[in-house]
Structure 1
Amino acid sequence: MFKYLTSPLVKQVPLVSICRTKINTLRLGRLPCQYKTYATDSKDFTIPKTRNIGIIAHIDAGKTTTSERMLYYAGVTKRIGDIDDGDTVMDYLAAERERGITINSAAITFGWEGHRINLIDTPGHVDFTMEVERAVRVLDGAVTILDGVAGVEAQTETVWKQADRYDIPRIAFVNKLDRTGAAFGRTVREMWKKLRTRPLVIQLPVMNEESMDERHKGLKAVVDLVTMEMIQWDPAHTDGSVLKRVPLKEVADEKLYTEAVKGRTALVEALAEMDDDIVEIFFDEADGDHMLVKETPLKEAIRRVTISNKAVPVLCGAAFKNLGVQPLLNAVIDYLPSPLDRPSALVTYSSGKTALIPLTDPKLCALAFKVVHDARRGPMVYVKVYSGKINTRMTLFNTTTRAKERVNKLLQMYAKEAEEIPTINAGNIGVIVGLKDTRTGDTLVQSNDTVAIKSGLQLSNIDIPSPAFFSAVEPASVSEEEAVETALKNLVREDPSLKVWTDEESGQLLVSGMGELHLEIVKDRLLNDFKVKAEMGKMRISYRETCQSESDASAEYDKEVMGKRARAACRVQISPLHEDFDQQVENNGLEEGWVANSGNHLSVADISFSDDSVSEKDNQLNPEEVRQAVQNGLLGGLARGAVLGFPLTKLKVKAFDLQTFGQDTTLGAISACVSNGVFEAVKKANPCLLEPMMEVYTEVNENHIGSVVSDLSGTRRGHVIGLESSMGNDDTENSSEDVQVYAPEDSLLVSSDVDGYKPKQVIKAHVPLSSMLGYSSALRSLTGGSGAFSMRVIGYGEMSKDREKSVVSEMTGW
């Protein structure tokens, strides 16, 4: 039994690296108290020994279950948290424990084998995609959890694309192999087919086929193809803390050994295609024998191809049964990058120039990627430090808001618990308390860094998705109005995918979000967390508006504001963007002088002064400030359409012929004039409504296909795209590459000729969001409770004139 240092003067760290030994039997001992690692402990946890990782997956794939096991084996918790019992560390919000899902991306820090792991557990529900987006933005690597029964699901594809955008190295963990119908090989093939990635199988599942009792079938061990050992968990210790490594040659299973040799050969061959170093080792040190390639060079090669995103190592297990989690933690250390292995941070200056800031740069550069309102501590800003370091009581400068901020405290998070620390070093994630105006996506530098401040240094921002639903919020009384507005302001600061505005006609306070569950959580938090008294109205679809023809309009603004005349005039031109315009922009980029915003393209390049009484030289307005004011006016005008006041999209908008009137012309007058010009041009350009379109995946039994397809294409006005088996397609061809992907045969692959089980069929369709309201109960009725579906927003589509009249009548009441 390995002992642990328990002296209060020494950090509680194992005396040995427990999973690196060749000893057969191993007991993962329990620590007498929580094992916490400090962000500032550079002696024990240097940058090369730091891992910033996230767990991403489809809802119910087992993300939180896996995270809880990681914390238990690392010694952070004394018992394994369970979602069903509502006692998980990572899902600590009342709404999360009540619903059994992750809503808030929780961060926690723990140690494993002398390494510091900053872990973020992300939601899998499509309504909380913003939480995934901002977590992925700051990660160095990710663990993708795949359901061994369901395979690659819809939201898995979504989060995979999010990780692709930031070029995040990943490893995959095929979970739930203890369940009937689980198929490791099929899931690997689906990764190749659906995710367009190169899966690199480094583990094989060993299934218990001998038992006649279905309850005891499923995963019983794992074969490590790198070390050619079988990893077994002692069934007498149900917490999975005792494991045994046995060389495969000592296992009396010829079929298993043959498959392992096949897998090891495929692994070395695949690495040889992508890594030159392993080729030299294969011929020079292993004499051309795949079995003689040693463990260390093999791991180094896997690490190189993973960090370069050429391949994704695939592991397997059953987290709920406590199988496979320790090897997964080892893989995080072995294959995922440290902050030093990632590209330097890309920054943009106000001049438009870009540069790379290395991690070793002594000047501070940090990104605020999340804000949480704490009733006791106030706003807590999560930051990733890309260079330099943040100290307690330091004064920061926010280059996004152009404001100074004071650091009161620095915290390291353990889900909902926090520990005060003196410093956050480069490459680490931490929390700042005391920042009043910092929001998600803001860049922070030190207040005395004049070069960064004057140049307007900015890290790349975080994409914020457009909300699809909205609801009215009604304070219970006039005295509650201020409290409701403050609570909503805090919620919007926490979650930028929420939008709050006041309807000009009705005077109602409206809040919009990503989905029904998203707004339901907003309501819960208003009532339970912020303790305000308010009612939320009926859930409505957040439509968009556009124009079907071209137009231009002249506008003049002439008003007296606080005793001073404000005056400006301009012209605005509007035209619709055609369908393939986005593809052309992606291929060729935007035209010079144009910028993209919320699906629109804006131009202020033709702006010039036109004033007979005052020359441009004599005018006190700064040309750069004027252009910014014009752009603000364009954005303000596009925020409200002419049909029902929804935001406008899919338009090209240009302001030109700006006329100024000496001292009467102010920046505010220019913005107001341009905004009015946009509204006038929109009214003349045949405005119409757009509705959110969803990509819907519906999984049903074969005998229910007809009724479900009929419902989707008829009642719900959808367009069915295709139909495929949930078991996946064995065809692993990729049109772009002639690559052979190894995927083992599934010993428990349940196919249609096995009694009692038939694979489900997946119907893919594009359906208007308004037609999907209440679809969950309708699908249960159509399929006798056996159907399931998932959906995501893919854009906005035009609605028919009859449908538009119906929406207008419903929204206006006439």
Structure 2
Amino acid sequence: MNQKVLSATRNVAIVGPYLSGKTTLLESLLFVSGAISRKGNIKDGNTVGDGATEARDRQMTVEVSAASTDYQGIHFTFVDCPGSIEFAQETYNALIGVDAAVVVCEPVTDRVLTLAPLFKFLDDWEIPHLVFINKMDRLTCHGDTWGQAYREILDALKSVSTRPLIPHQYPIGKGEQLIGFIDLVSEQAYQYHSGAPADRVPVPDSLKEQEHAARVEMLEALADFDDHLLEELLEEIEPPQEEILQDLRMELGADLIVPVFMGIAEQDYGVRHLMDALEREAPASETTAKRRGLDSSAKTPVAQVLKTYYTPQGGKLSLVRVWQGKLTDGIILNGVRAGGLYRLFGQQQHSISEASTGEIVAVGRLEGISTSQTLTANGDQGRKELAKAESLKPVYALAIAAQNRKDEVKLSGAL
């Protein structure tokens, strides 16, 4: 596989607490990238994510859901993960196969503490991650207090993150409404428009001083990892924008910093700029493979199961990350012949003939293969198991097995 294809693949998990708006953000990301022409919503039960009957009945994510889209020449696969504590194992199993994660949270300081276990897992596994503060319209502000309220949320987030938080944006409010933001990298202001890209507008005179202070703070935080940038700041030299973006790419890719974005996913506010940041700054698939001790240029197929589904029509389906080589339809993995390769789009399955290094795809009918298991074309001979998420103590545990294997799908549906 050539370098061009490798660098054009990104796998991004969407994680965060229950009710933070993860599935709504996925819907918005798919909309702004052109994968869907019309957005669904949770209440109507027609979103790409949360397509399972159980999820729609409860209006909450109960299992990992994957959807792919292309944006600016990059092939993205988004993995929407459950936020409820009962499904933490499901989320952790999926996270080990992504290149980056977007941590979605609400602008409520009292709920920030719920992010601590998630931040710890991401840092322990050195998974690059960004924060998207969603539902900014629920932040109670008046007049020019938006900056102060935003600062309080950032301070709360810093208290549960071992990595320094780097805000990309500064809010622009009008009365009680959030109407836009200032990009701290380019110092360009934007005004939101529902369902359309934000307009470029001049930086409000009343916010120039606050924006400058926030930008200096951002640059100083980045300078902790870049001596050249530090020298420029000490000599009062304005660093080029590309140098700042390069620092953000390198530090995020090494899981040294946590960039912070904000918006309102339901109205697509801030989502296009989040998508742009993922395209510019999120690490490529080969970078993740190298971090996991794998050679993404090797031709020997190596994959790992991130999630196991039982579908009413197709039976068992394994969501896998291809770490090395190429998977083809009918390939034998760990002694089991694959019964089809699919690219998932929520509940939809699109048949494909092959899957290349870095991709997350579904493999059909891998009987006897379990979640987190390492897959190779050589079966068990010489196979080294990849690291997997530690098994958590169940909130509630009960094992049930169908007497007849043909009834597994019926049992899964009944549960």
- Describe how 1:459-538 pairs up with structure 2 within 5 A: 459-470=386-397, 482=403, 526=411, 530=413
Q: Does 1:324 align with 2:270?
A: yes
How far is the alpha carbon of 1:162 from its aligned partner? 2.0
Q: Moved runs in structure 1, 4+ residues, more than 6 A?
A: none
Q: Does 1:199 align with 2:165?
A: yes
| Secondary structure, counterpart of 1:46 in structure 2 | helix
Which of 297, 301, 313 does residue 243 from structure 2 map onto? 297
Instruction: Give the corresponding residue for 2:302.
Output: 365
Instruction: Give the corresponding residue for 1:208.
Output: 174
Which of 321, 344, 348 does residue 417 from structure 1 map onto? 348
How far is the alpha carbon of 1:345 from its aligned partner? 6.1
- The number of residue pairs the alignment matches comes to 408
| Secondary structure, counterpart of 1:530 in structure 2 | helix
| Secondary structure, counterpart of 1:393 in structure 2 | coil
Instruction: Give the corresponding residue for 1:617.
Output: none
Q: For 2:15 and 2:260, locate their aligned partners in 1 and report how far apart those are by CA, in whole Å.
A: 14
TM-score, with normalisation over the residues of structure 2?
0.91
Which of 208, 216, 235 does residue 265 from structure 1 map onto? 216
Instruction: Give the corresponding residue for 1:288.
Output: 236
Q: For 2:74 and 2:355, locate their aligned partners in 1 and report how far apart those are by CA, in whole Å.
A: 17
Deviation string 1:761-811 (CA, Å, 9 cap, x unpaired) is xxxxxxxxxxxxxxxxxxxxxxxxxxxxxxxxxxxxxxxxxxxxxxxxxxx
**2:365 partner amino acid:** G
How far is the alpha carbon of 1:471 from its aligned partner? 6.1
- Describe how 1:503-652 pairs up with structure 2 within 5 A: 526=411, 530=413
Q: Does 1:48 align with 2:7?
A: yes
Structure 1: runs of 5 or more not aligned: 1-39, 210-216, 347-355, 398-403, 476-480, 491-524, 533-814
Indicate how the Cα distance of structure 1 residues 343 and 278 shifts in structure 2: closer, same or farther if over 3 A, else same. farther
**1:56 partner amino acid:** V
How far is the alpha carbon of 1:147 from its aligned partner? 0.6
Decide whether the 8 Å contact of 1:222 with 1:317 is kept in 2. Answer: no
- Describe how 1:2-81 pairs up with structure 2 within 5 A: 46-81=5-40
Which of 111, 117, 135 does residue 76 from structure 2 map onto? 117
Which of 146, 166, 189 does residue 230 from structure 1 map onto? 189
Which of 98, 116, 120 does residue 161 from structure 1 map onto? 120
Instruction: Give the corresponding residue for 2:146.
Output: none
Q: For 2:291 and 2:376, locate their aligned partners in 1 and report how far apart those are by CA, in whole Å.
A: 14
Deviation string 1:350-395 (CA, Å, 9 cap, x unpaired) is xxxxxx3311112111111211111211211111111111111222
Instruction: Give the corresponding residue for 1:626.
Output: none
Q: For 2:50 and 2:24, locate their aligned partners in 1 and report how far apart those are by CA, in whole Å.
A: 10
Q: For 2:327 and 2:291, locate their aligned partners in 1 and report how far apart those are by CA, in whole Å.
A: 17
Indicate how the Cα distance of structure 1 residues 278 and 97 shifts in structure 2: closer, same or farther if over 3 A, else same. same
Decide whether the 8 Å contact of 1:383 with 1:430 is kept in 2. Answer: yes
Q: For 1:184 and 1:75, locate their aligned partners in 2 and report how far apart those are by CA, in whole Å.
A: 31
Decide whether the 8 Å contact of 1:124 with 1:155 is kept in 2. Answer: no
Q: For 1:151 and 1:55, locate their aligned partners in 2 and report how far apart those are by CA, in whole Å.
A: 21
How far is the alpha carbon of 1:443 from its aligned partner? 1.2
How far is the alpha carbon of 1:180 from its aligned partner? 4.0
Aligned-pair RMSD on alpha carbons? 2.5
- Describe how 1:645-660 pairs up with structure 2 within 5 A: none
| Secondary structure, counterpart of 1:205 in structure 2 | strand
Q: Does 1:278 align with 2:229?
A: yes
How far is the alpha carbon of 1:482 from its aligned partner? 3.2
- Describe how 1:435-474 pairs up with structure 2 within 5 A: 435-447=366-378, 453-470=380-397
Deviation string 1:289-327 (CA, Å, 9 cap, x unpaired) is 4xx322211111111111122211111112123211100
Q: Does 1:87 align with 2:46?
A: yes
Deviation string 1:101-121 (CA, Å, 9 cap, x unpaired) is 111110111011111111001
TM-score, with normalisation over the residues of structure 1?
0.48
Q: Does 1:405 align with 2:336?
A: yes
Q: Does 1:344 align with 2:281?
A: no
Instruction: Give the corresponding residue for 2:85.
Output: 126
Q: For 2:14 and 2:128, locate their aligned partners in 1 and report how far apart those are by CA, in whole Å.
A: 12
Q: Does 1:381 align with 2:284?
A: no
How far is the alpha carbon of 1:472 from its aligned partner? 9.3
Q: For 1:360 and 1:221, locate their aligned partners in 2 and report how far apart those are by CA, in whole Å.
A: 43
Decide whether the 8 Å contact of 1:136 with 1:162 is kept in 2. Answer: no
Decide whether the 8 Å contact of 1:65 with 1:83 is kept in 2. Answer: yes
How far is the alpha carbon of 1:445 from its aligned partner? 1.1
Q: For 1:335 and 1:472, locate their aligned partners in 2 and report how far apart those are by CA, in whole Å.
A: 43
Indicate how the Cα distance of structure 1 residues 87 and 389 shifts in structure 2: closer, same or farther if over 3 A, else same. same
How far is the alpha carbon of 1:204 from its aligned partner? 0.8
Instruction: Give the corresponding residue for 1:396.
Output: 333
In our comparison, the structure showing a higher alpha carbon Rg is 1
Indicate how the Cα distance of structure 1 residues 374 and 272 shifts in structure 2: closer, same or farther if over 3 A, else same. same
Q: For 2:397 and 2:99, locate their aligned partners in 1 and report how far apart those are by CA, in whole Å.
A: 35
**1:293 partner amino acid:** P
- Describe how 1:658-697 pairs up with structure 2 within 5 A: none
How far is the alpha carbon of 1:343 from its aligned partner? 5.2
How far is the alpha carbon of 1:186 from its aligned partner? 1.2
**1:390 partner amino acid:** L
Q: For 2:381 and 2:52, locate their aligned partners in 1 and report how far apart those are by CA, in whole Å.
A: 42
Q: For 1:56 and 1:432, locate their aligned partners in 2 and report how far apart those are by CA, in whole Å.
A: 24
Deviation string 1:392-427 (CA, Å, 9 cap, x unpaired) is 122222xxxxxx111231111111111111111111
Q: For 2:43 and 2:174, locate their aligned partners in 1 and report how far apart those are by CA, in whole Å.
A: 26
Structure 2: runs of 5 or more not aligned: 142-148
How far is the alpha carbon of 1:181 from its aligned partner? 2.9
